[in-house]
């Protein structure tokens, strides 16, 4: 998010002089104080998130959520309910074959209530999807296309506030080859439970689980069934 500051030099034509500008305190407080609030694209720096993805600085959905809600980054200053409190934004992960999606869902702070145990329910009922980041794996073209855009819940220019980039990858025999720790590895290769956001991280989803049963032998104590996980391209867990 670009911040434009006026210096004394820019006002020299209109003013005979000006007092020295006060020293900036810097840090998260300064960012939050100058950043726009409300429900506009200026209050949520979607471009900054896509740049972090380009630079391979975010390894998974949980870390994306942490960056978004860290005041020091200045990415999120949304205040949908205009109560003066920045609304937390959850990241909700899903996948459909070769397409992975990260929904960014803002939770109006005034809807959560005072009971922490009820926060997951209220977040689900009152959460607003403000943007989506989609990752499309195209094996024949050996590419992954990243597309980020706002929903109608955010005031924005659909021709300006949309972000796309394409990354060359290696896909052999239906398997994506990418370094461990890369976001693409997390989205398309690494076996994991879908991340469902700050208030839903305890929800369990089984993904790519295949059970291997051992034959029972008479007069012997039954062995426990073992589980192993095997990645199979195109099969996914359900929410």
Query: Could you read off the pLDDT of 118-163 as tens digits, one per residue?
Result: 888 888 889 999 999 999 999 999 999 999 999 999 999 999 999 9
Q: Which of 148, 153, 173 is nearest to 163 (CA)?
A: 148
Cα 100–Cα 106–Cα 108 angle in degrees, nearest 5: 160
3-state secondary structure the chain: CCCCCCCHHHHCCCCCCCCCCCCCCCHHHHHHHHCCCECEHHHECHHHHHHHHHCCCCCCHHHHHHHHHCHHHCCECECCCCCCCCCEEEEEEEEECCEEEEEEEEECHHHCCCCHHHHHHHHHHHCEEEEEEEEEEECCCCEEEEEEEECCCCECCCCCCEEEEEEECEEECCEEECCCCCHHHHHHCCCCCCCCCHHHCCCCCCCCEEEECCCCCCCCCCCCCEEEECCCCCCCCCC
pLDDT, position 143: 97
pLDDT, position 199: 86
Write down the pTM of the prediction: 0.69
CA dist., res. 222 & res. 141, Å (int): 50
Per-residue pLDDT of the chain (239 residues; tens, 9 = 90+): 343 433 444 333 333 444 444 443 343 333 333 467 889 999 999 999 999 999 999 999 999 999 999 999 999 999 999 999 999 999 999 999 999 999 999 999 999 888 888 888 888 889 999 999 999 999 999 999 999 999 999 999 999 999 999 999 999 988 999 999 999 999 999 999 999 999 886 443 333 333 334 444 444 444 444 343 333 444 444 44
């Amino acid at each position: 998010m670009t911040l434009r500051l006026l210096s004394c030099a820019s006002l020299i034509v209109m003013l005979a002089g000006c007092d020295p500008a006060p020293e900036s305190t810097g840090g998260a407080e300064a960012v939050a104080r100058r950043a726009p609030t409300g429900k506009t694209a200026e209050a949520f720096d979607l471009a900054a998130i896509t740049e972090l993805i380009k630079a391979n600085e975010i390894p998974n959905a949980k870390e994306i959520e942490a960056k978004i809600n860290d005041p020091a980054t200045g990415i999120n200053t949304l205040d949908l309910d205009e109560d003066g409190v920045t609304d937390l934004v959850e990241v909700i992960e899903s996948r459909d074959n070769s397409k992975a999606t990260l929904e960014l869902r803002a939770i109006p702070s005034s809807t959560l209530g005072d009971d922490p145990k009820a926060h997951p329910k209220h977040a689900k009922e009152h959460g607003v999807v403000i943007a989506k980041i989609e990752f499309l794996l195209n094996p024949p073209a050996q590419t992954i296309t990243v597309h980020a855009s706002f929903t109608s819940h955010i005031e924005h220019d659909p021709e300006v506030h949309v972000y796309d980039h394409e990354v060359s990858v290696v896909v052999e025999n239906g398997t994506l080859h990418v370094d461990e720790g890369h976001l693409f590895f997390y989205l398309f290769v690494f076996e994991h439970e879908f991340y469902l956001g700050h208030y839903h991280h305890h929800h369990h989803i089984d993904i790519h689980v295949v059970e291997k049963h051992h034959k029972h032998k008479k007069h012997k104590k039954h062995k426990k069934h073992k589980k192993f996980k095997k990645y199979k391209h195109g099969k996914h867990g359900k929410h």
